[in-house]
Structure 1
Amino acid sequence: MNPTDPRTERPDKLEAAEPQILIVDDARDIRESLGQYLRKQGYRTQLAANGIEARRIIEEASLALIVLDVMMPGEDGLSICRWLTGRGGPPVILLTAMADETDRIVGLELGADDYVVKPFNPRELLARIRAVLRRAPMPAPTITGTQRRFAGWEHAPATQELRHADGRHVVLTSGENRLLTVLLDHAQTVLSRDRLLDLTAGRDAKAYDRAIDNTVSRLRRKIEDDPKSPRLIVTEWGGGYMLAAPVETL
């Protein structure tokens, strides 16, 4: 592959503090030229040509923002936006060629933070990206190498892994890893959904009221003996969630 191809640039050459942006567009010239432009402006970028690639990157990467084309073959941008809203972000700016204002309103109602109509000026999109990041920062909990043990599980946050004394091995998504880290930090303490959103994503809880529930459900399926009758991550009705087990730092 061409070493100057933006898809091959190694992210470890860049400063970790630089926000990472995912560009999802089936038009190669748009996503690659936009990726190159944003890198020159100090951002790290990842590129996806369709919904399948986008979902994989979203599960694996720590993203500050997603620039998302609406009209794509296969899964369209509105479907991906709805899925992102359900899991609590990151912020989304829609790229749309649609002239009908109603279609743009639908995207905003699904949880998009802004939209830009094609054809667009990259400088305008950059300004909108900066504005969204200013008003919707996503501070995540500090992920260190400190490992902790609870209920037979050992959590390695740096590698997003869980290992059980009986040999089970679980790999967590970034969202699941952040949530578990927060629950371990506040073991045996009830945390409301709003508080969990603040600690894991920093987004507006009112816009993403199901995000924590969805992540808790996925985490329970990975660590509970019976996810339908959880004993580790318990629900406090009217309150939120609590990690019920004591925690030991290794």
Structure 2
Amino acid sequence: MPITTPHIAILDDEPEIRRILSDALEEAGYRVTTFARATEFEAALNRATPDVCLVDLGLPDRDGLAVVHRLALESGAAIIIISGRAQVQDRVTGLELGADDYIIKPFEPAEVVARIRARLRKTRSDAPRSTPQTARFAQWRAHFDRYVLSPDQGPEVPFSHAEGEVLRMFLESPNRLISRAQMQQNFGGGAGESFDRAMDVRISRLRTKLGEDPKNPRLIKTIYGAGYIFLADVTWT
């Protein structure tokens, strides 16, 4: 299987910062996409999830910390904050909301590249080597090594890392109730409305990709007030 080039997304409203980071990362061999506004960045996330997101906190259209928190709950991408806010509390808050690292401006581009490389190495080393990567259920195969769903008939459907985490959870416990408390324990993050909303978004996207009727889903059933049940026989290979 060919090795894909890691994709780095940069969200910063300063053109010069975007240029410096983009030049350094492209020279290091990464694929780079840049954004000046959070609305454009979040719209792009609906189409594809980058491997690493570099996020500035001082954005013109959104609170940067809110963007970081949403990314941590929904995307599954590694998150590195790059900000001029040097106070310890800013760093602590960013990391508590889900960032993996925090770099203070001004910075050396070589240091940013080095930290991204370290984060990608950690992601690869954390991946379980003996875990089955393909699951068969209903008329689908889920390929977790390629992040795609293959139907018996029709084109493959890609899914994000975050959606894959939820799908694997269901496929590893089919025909059993999975409560909100179990989800929170599995995925971390603070319990409450924000976490519940993030889970609902992931599950809604999975239902869409599985061709489910949102009013009467066959595979991912909502048990109101309790959680979810994935109704299918599953075979792992």
Normalising by the smaller structure, the TM-score range is 0.5 to 0.7
Aligned equivalent of 1:86: 73
Taking the aligned partners of 2:177 and 2:122, their CA distance within structure 1 comes to 24
Q: Aligned match of 2:160 in 174, 189, 203?
A: 174
1:104 to 76, 86, 91: 91
Note the 1:112-131 alignment, pairs <5 A.
112-131=99-118
Aligned counterpart for 1:50 among listed residues 17, 24, 37: 37
- Cα separation, 1, equivalents of 2:190 and 2:45: 17
RMSD over aligned CA atoms reads 4.4
Residue aligned with 2:115, SS: helix
Give SS of 1:111's match.
coil
Deviation per CA, 1:107-131: give whole Å up to 9, x if none.
1111111111111011111222222
Contact 1:224/1:230, CA 8 A, preserved across alignment: yes
Deviation by residue 1:136-188 (Cα, 9 ceiling, x = unmatched): 448699999xxx884xx87898997999xxxxxxx876357646864796694
Partner of 2:55: 68
Q: Unpaired segments of 5 or more residues in structure 1?
A: 1-14, 164-170, 198-203
Q: Distance in 2 between matches of 1:162 and 1:135?
A: 29
For residues 58 and 142 of structure 1, what CA distance do their matches in structure 2 show? 27
Aligned-pair distance for 1:61? 1.9
CA distance in 1, matches of 2:115, 2:147: 33
Q: Which amino acid aligns with 1:51?
A: A
Q: Is the 8 A contact 1:190 1:236 kept in 2?
A: no
TM-score (norm 2): 0.67
Q: Are the structure 2 counterparts of residues 195 and 131 from structure 1 closer, same or farther at C-alpha, using a change threshold of 3 Å? A: farther
Report percent identity of matched pairs.
34
The alpha-carbon deviation at position 79 of structure 1 amounts to 1.5
> What is the DSSP-based 3-state SS (H/G/I as helix, E as strand, rest coil) of the residue aligned with 2:10?
strand
1:201-220 maps to which residues of 2 (within 5 A)? 205-207=187-189, 210=195, 212-220=199-207
Q: Which SS does the other structure have where 1:21 is aligned?
A: strand
Aligned amino acid, residue 106 of structure 1: T
Is the 1:85–1:111 Cα contact (8 Å) retained in structure 2?
A: yes
Deviation of 1:26 (Å): 0.9
TM-score (ref. length: structure 1) = 0.64
Counterpart CA distance in 1 for 2:51 and 2:219 is 30
Cα offset, 1:217, TM superposition: 3.9
Contact 1:175/1:215, CA 8 A, preserved across alignment = no
How has the CA–CA distance of structure 1 residues 183 and 52 changed in structure 2, closer, same or farther, with 3 Å as cutoff? Answer: same
For 2:166 and 2:141, the matched residues in 1 are separated by 9
Distance 2:181 2:50 in 1: 21
Output the amino acid matched with 1:77.
Answer: G
Q: Is 1:37 aligned with 2:24?
A: yes
Shift of 1:232: 2.0
| Equivalent residue pairs, number | 219
Q: Give 1:80 deviation, angstroms.
A: 0.8
Residues 97 and 117 in structure 1, CA contact (< 8 A), matched pair in contact too: yes
* Separation of aligned partners in 2, 1:225 and 1:87: 22
* Deviation, structure 1 residue 56: 1.9
DSSP-derived class of the 2:86 partner: coil
Gaps of 5+ in 2: 152-156
Question: Which amino acid in structure 1 is aligned with residue 64 of structure 2?
Answer: G
Closer/same/farther in 2, CA of residues 133 and 78 from structure 1, 3 Å limit: same
